[in-house]
Amino acid sequence: MEMLLSALKAAGEATRLRLLALCAHSDLTVSDLTSILGQSQPRVSRHLKLLCDGGLLDRSREGSWVYFRLTTHGTGAEIARTLVDSIPSDDGTLTRDLERLERIRQARSQRASDYFRRNAKQWDQIRSLYVEEHEVEKKLLELLPGELIGDLLDIGTGTGRVIELLAPRVTKAVGVDLSSEMLMVARANIERASLRNCTVKQGDMYQLPVQSGSFDAVTLHQVLHFAETPSEVLAEAARTLRPGGRLIVVDFQAHDLDYLRDEHSHRWLGFRDADVQNWFKEAGLIPSQYVELPGDPLTVGIWTAERPPADYTAIDHTSVERSTADQVH
């Protein structure tokens, strides 16, 4: 009862209800929230502290930035979601707040799009600044055993490098990217390599232009740290997998290099293993292998998960294989 009273007391104020609703839609900083609410930073910070103390919001630091999100664990998660769902969808204040939030998200997406456009031709070089790309590609091939993979979907395909790498082992490959500049480079690379079983198309990683359950393998190579909501990207990727299909995510382990936000438009400073595993499970996947490729200054992680087979019976799958590759220089 004490937890319930504390949560209700924390939420019992108009501004704090607005903050809960906003943080239910996106991970937001104090700066984001002050811009949306039109209130001072000290005032917003005080409200956020009360909501965190009441168990309704989670606070996480990434470098010099702090993000707030609706809590996803414990009694507070149920209370927070119930309160947010109880706010009328036609509430005028909430509608205006969400409109401002959408403008912030669009501005972030535009910055990422501008970055991709500026760097499309040198994208492969940028991606290999931290760990030798051939080491990542070698491990990727090892994690997709067998001579034939089947049908492959590469989300955020960029220059199409993953498609080129796996083309000899797939029946067909489809690369999806939102950037037309990236797709121009990818198409040129595919045509140059005469990969007749490979195609690319423009599409949003949150709403992939493919049918559900139509691929045997899905890859996201250095894509997730640009995503506004990584869990939604993984859920959409999981949708496209056939029973028994495999999802592979290549990205940075959590780090504190703030300059990557400003210079390379990274939305997230890498990811913790536990977070990725939880997102897999929320998407209905079974986490399998996790591999680390240590680099300087960043470490690349490769996470894999599988869509349960049609005759799958739920059992305890809490044990996930872990391995660390030799250090890469």
Summarize pLDDT for 254-310 with one digit per residue, the tens: 999 898 888 888 999 999 999 999 999 999 999 999 999 998 888 999 999 999 998
Confidence of residue 124 (pLDDT cuts 50, 70, 90): low
pLDDT at 126: 63
Report which of residues 136 and 322 the model is more confident about: 136
Domains of the chain: 2-87 (1.10.10.10), 126-324 (3.40.50.150)
Q: Which residue from 60, 67, 57, 58 is spatially nearest to 29, judged by alpha carbons?
A: 67
Cα(62)–Cα(199) distance, integer angstroms: 37
- Segment 234-259 shows an average pLDDT of 95
pLDDT at 123: 62
pLDDT at 284: 97
Residue 173: C-alpha distances to residues 162, 188, 200, 274 (Å): 10, 15, 8, 30
Rg from Cα positions in the chain: 21
Cα(297)–Cα(295) distance, integer angstroms: 6
pLDDT at 317: 46
As a whole-number percent, the residues of the chain with pLDDT over 90 amount to: 55
Show the tokens assigned to 185: 């480079």
Report which of residues 172 and 120 the model is more confident about: 172
Cα(304)–Cα(49) distance, integer angstroms: 36
Q: Which residue from 292, 302, 237, 232 is spatially nearest to 267, judged by alpha carbons?
A: 232
Show the tokens assigned to 241: 């997998």
Q: Mind listing the pLDDT tens digit for each residue in 140-150? A: 998 887 778 99
Cis peptide before 309 (omega within 30 of 0): no
pLDDT at 329: 36
pLDDT at 216: 96
Q: Mind listing the pLDDT tens digit for each residue in 181-238? A: 888 888 888 888 889 899 899 999 999 999 999 999 999 999 999 999 999 999 999 9
> DSSP secondary-structure letter at 308?
P
Relative to beta strand 57-62, strand 65-70 is antiparallel
Show the tokens assigned to 143: 């994690």
Cα(120)–Cα(66) distance, integer angstroms: 30
Cα(5)–Cα(125) distance, integer angstroms: 54
pLDDT at 318: 43
- Segment 42-60 shows an average pLDDT of 92
Helix axes 230-239, 273-282, angle to 10 degrees: 40
Cα(229)–Cα(283) distance, integer angstroms: 13
Which residues make beta-bridge pairs with 199?
A: 174
Cα(11)–Cα(7) distance, integer angstroms: 6
Query: Quick check: 121 pLDDT over 90?
Result: no
Cα 268 to the center of its chain, rounded Å: 9
Query: Quick check: 5 pLDDT over 80?
Result: no
As a whole-number percent, the residues of the chain with pLDDT over 70 amount to: 90
Confidence of residue 69 (pLDDT cuts 50, 70, 90): confident
Cα 235 to the center of its chain, rounded Å: 9
Cα(51)–Cα(57) distance, integer angstroms: 6
Helix extents (H) in 210-314 = 230-239, 259-264, 273-282
Q: For residue 144, what are the contacts with CB-CB under 8 A and spacing of at least 6?
A: 166, 169, 217, 246, 248
Query: Quick check: 93 pLDDT over 90?
Result: yes
pLDDT at 316: 44
> DSSP secondary-structure letter at 55?
T
Average pLDDT for the chain: 87
- Segment 77-88 shows an average pLDDT of 90
Cα(106)–Cα(100) distance, integer angstroms: 10
Q: Which residue from 260, 259, 287 is spatially nearest to 275, judged by alpha carbons?
A: 287
Q: Of the ranges 20-24, 90-94, 180-184, 306-310, which one carries the lowest mean pLDDT score?
A: 180-184
